[in-house]
Amino acid sequence: MAEQRILLVDCQPKTLAMYGKVLEKGGFAVTAAESGREAVQKMKDEPIDLVLADVVMPRIDGLEILKQVGTEYPGVPVILMVGGLTNEIVLEAAESGAAQTLGKPVKPGILLRSVRQALRPRRESTGHLRKSGSTESQTVEVTATRAKNRLGQMLDQLSNDKVVFITRHNSPKAALVSMEKYMELTTSVERKLDTLSKEFDEMLAAMQTPKAREGMKSAFDATPRQLGEAALKTARNRD
């Protein structure tokens, strides 16, 4: 299998050299870019399997690269790196679809593990970066983190459009139904339960009448022979 290519983006040449060496030793091909603008151009020039970018860069930063990759090259994972990692950055990165956000400096082992994990859904794919609307066939893979982020965005949109999203925990299947259909389904179940409950209440009420109690007492006190004769008599009456 051909080497998977990583686009490594950082405005510090020393960082590019250090992380690039780690990735190459890990079996990846590396394309380096010292700015967001250069990274955008390289994404247009050659196929990329994963983008590893620093957040803090002039003009086009890592978050902007992340958003652009998500729009123009869906299915390509993006890992962000930042010194002084904060919850705000992690949240914004997650909402924009980052596969992971790593605090710098990143240890070599963690860097390789993160890249391999993000690339796992793409290992059997031969597709690379393709712009949206391309006539060439493409395989779109979604990492677990990206799926959760997209799910959150979808739920926001669905709630505004009055559509209900139904899913099951730990199940890959999901369904979208209109609010009208959802109400129809749930109301139908409620009606059936109400009908069963009403029939059960009527049966209990019938069992509480003096005649019913007397019949039940007679049945408990009857001998097997009397029960058999009563059953035969009932059968003849039905015929």
Write the pLDDT tens digit of every residue in 159-206: 555 454 454 444 444 556 566 666 676 676 667 777 777 777 777 777
- Residue for token pair 């007492």: 217
- The answer to whether residues 122 and 115 touch, using CB atoms and an 8 Å cutoff, is no
Determine the straight-line distance between the first and last CA of the chain, rounded to whole angstroms: 80
- The answer to whether residues 32 and 13 touch, using CB atoms and an 8 Å cutoff, is no
Pairing of strands 163-167, 174-178: antiparallel
Q: Report which of residues 91 and 188 the model is more confident about.
A: 91
Question: Where are any strands of DSSP class E within the chain?
Answer: 5-9, 29-33, 50-54, 78-83, 100-104, 163-167, 174-178
Q: Report which of residues 210 and 179 the model is more confident about.
A: 210
Residues in the chain: 239
Report the 10 Å Cβ neighbour count for 97. 23
Q: In what order do the strands lie in the sheet with 78-83?
A: 29-33, 5-9, 50-54, 78-83, 100-104
Report the pLDDT value the prediction gives residue 126, as an integer from 0 to 100: 42
Question: Could you tell me the domains of the chain?
Answer: 5-138 (3.40.50.2300)
| pTM, two decimal places | 0.52
Taking CA atoms, 93 is separated from 22, 66, 136, in Å, by: 24, 8, 29
Predicted confidence (pLDDT) per residue in 30-47, tens digit:
999 999 999 999 999 999
